[in-house]
């Protein structure tokens, strides 16, 4: 093991030199990684936004339960919460006190409402209720309205459940697509790296001939795979880092309505870049590990 660490700087150097000395091969592997990751980046951007859309729509799927203004005692609040939680199909009940309600109103309707902060607050306490199944929202809402202390209930409207089921299927389809794409990327990248190593299986045999142990041979190849993955991820990262903000500005941060608001530029682009770099390096490592291991056993 100590030998391994002593040899590590040497291995890193070997990996770098090897990339340059097999330049044509390295470039072809790097460009294969680049193309794959460009595709991958595009779909990550789309998938990230679709998941935000569905989250926005799902937030509209909450029932806003406004209580009578005179309900302030903790015992009464607890009772109402218990009653709501007792209704079948209710997933979660969150308390929102009058001050919080006002902040939400300020956020939604503008700064003018700031004047009501403090004792002047005309709003009453409320609950947010989310339901398990979008189709039951109307019935549950009606049921809650019948409870004591409840003034009124509100939810996003009748079209919302339909949209949710639509978006759900979009999300499901997108997820399958991303999984397939990931597999494709995995295959393409590890395959192109495999090709570069395949061309060198004679070298691997020679290294064993002169006394290099399996790990001594493997490590530089693995480092080389990581490096190729890293270099291949650079262009897609630049594409993401500058392309997404451009798109974001062009669309004004949303598609048609605020319901389809886009992911904010940060940290979204940085997360995608990190994913691309990580994915490229990981797949490079795996691809080179597998093919080196294979060719190590090509000869004794």
Partner 1 sequence: MILLKNVSKSYRNGVHALRDINLEVEDGEFVYIIGPTGCGKSTLIKILDGEELPDDGEVFVNGINVGKLRHAKVPLYRRNIGVIFQDFRLLPKMTVFENIAFALEVLAMEKTAIRRRVREVLELVDLQDKAKAFPEQLSGGQQQRATIGRAIANHPKVLIADEPTGNLDPEKSIEIIQLLDKINQVEKTTIVMVTHDEKLVNAYKKRTIALEEGFIVADIKKGGYIQHD
The residues of the shown chain that bind partner 1, judged by CB under 8 A, are: 3, 6-7, 10, 18, 21-22, 203, 205-214, 216, 297, 299-300
CB of 6 to partner 1, least distance (A): 6
Least gap, CB of 92 to partner 1 (angstroms): 56
Cβ distance to partner 1 smaller for residue 6 or 109: 6
Q: Residue 242, Cβ neighbours under 10 Å: how many?
A: 11
Distance between CA 132 and CA 118 in Å, rounded? 36
- Distance between CA atoms of 30 and 36, rounded to whole angstroms? 10
Residue with tokens 């956020």: 107
Between 39 and 205, CB nearer to partner 1: 205
Helices (H), 87-200: 98-109, 137-145, 159-198
Beta carbon nearer to partner 1, 24 or 250: 24
CB 197 to partner 1: min, Å? 13
Minimum gap (Å) between residue 212 Cβ and partner 1: 4
Minimum Å gap between C-beta 202 and partner 1 is 8
- If the CB atoms of residues 207 and 282 are measured against partner 1, the closer one turns out to be 207
Q: Which is nearer to partner 1, 10 or 82 (CB)?
A: 10
Give dist(CA 202, CA 210) in Å, integer. 13
CB nearer partner 1, residue 20 or residue 266: 20
* Per-residue CA distances from 117 to 97, 98, 102, 107, 122 (Å): 13, 10, 8, 13, 9
Q: If residue 267 lies in a helix (H) or strand (E), which one and from where to where?
A: helix 265-296
CA–CA distance, 50 with 260 (Å, rounded to integer): 9
Q: Contact, 250 vs 262, CB < 8 A? A: no
Distance of closest approach, residue 200 Cβ to partner 1, in angstroms = 8
């Amino acid at each position: 093991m100590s030998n391994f660490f002593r040899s590590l700087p040497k291995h890193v150097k070997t990996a770098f030199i090897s990339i340059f000395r097999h330049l044509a091969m390295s470039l072809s592997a790097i460009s294969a990684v680049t193309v794959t990751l460009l595709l991958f980046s595009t779909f990550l951007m789309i998938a990230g936004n679709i998941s935000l859309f569905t989250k926005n729509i799902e937030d509209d799927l909450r029932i806003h339960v406004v209580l009578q203004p005179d309900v302030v005692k903790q015992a009464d609040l607890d009772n109402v919460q218990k009653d709501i939680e007792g209704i079948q199909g209710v997933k979660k009940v969150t308390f929102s006190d009058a001050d919080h309600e006002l902040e939400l109103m300020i956020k939604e309707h503008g700064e003018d409402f700031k004047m009501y902060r403090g004792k002047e607050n005309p709003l009453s306490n409320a609950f947010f209720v989310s339901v398990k199944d979008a189709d039951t929202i109307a019935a549950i809402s009606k049921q809650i309205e019948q409870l004591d202390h409840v003034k009124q209930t509100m939810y996003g409207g009748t079209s919302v459940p339909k949209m949710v089921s639509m978006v759900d299927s979009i999300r499901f389809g997108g997820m399958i697509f991303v999984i397939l794409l990931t597999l494709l990327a995995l295959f393409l990248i590890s395959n192109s790296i495999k090709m570069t190593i395949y061309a060198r299986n004679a070298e691997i045999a020679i290294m064993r001939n002169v006394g290099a142990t399996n790990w001594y041979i493997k490590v530089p190849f693995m480092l080389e795979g990581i490096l190729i993955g890293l270099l291949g991820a650079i262009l897609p990262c630049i594409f993401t880092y500058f392309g997404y903000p451009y798109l974001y500005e062009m669309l004004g941060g949303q598609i048609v309505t605020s319901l389809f608001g886009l992911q904010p530029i940060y940290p979204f682009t940085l997360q995608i870049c990190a994913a691309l770099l990580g994915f490229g390096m990981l797949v490079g490592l795996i691809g080179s590990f597998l093919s080196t291991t294979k060719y190590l056993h090509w000869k004794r």
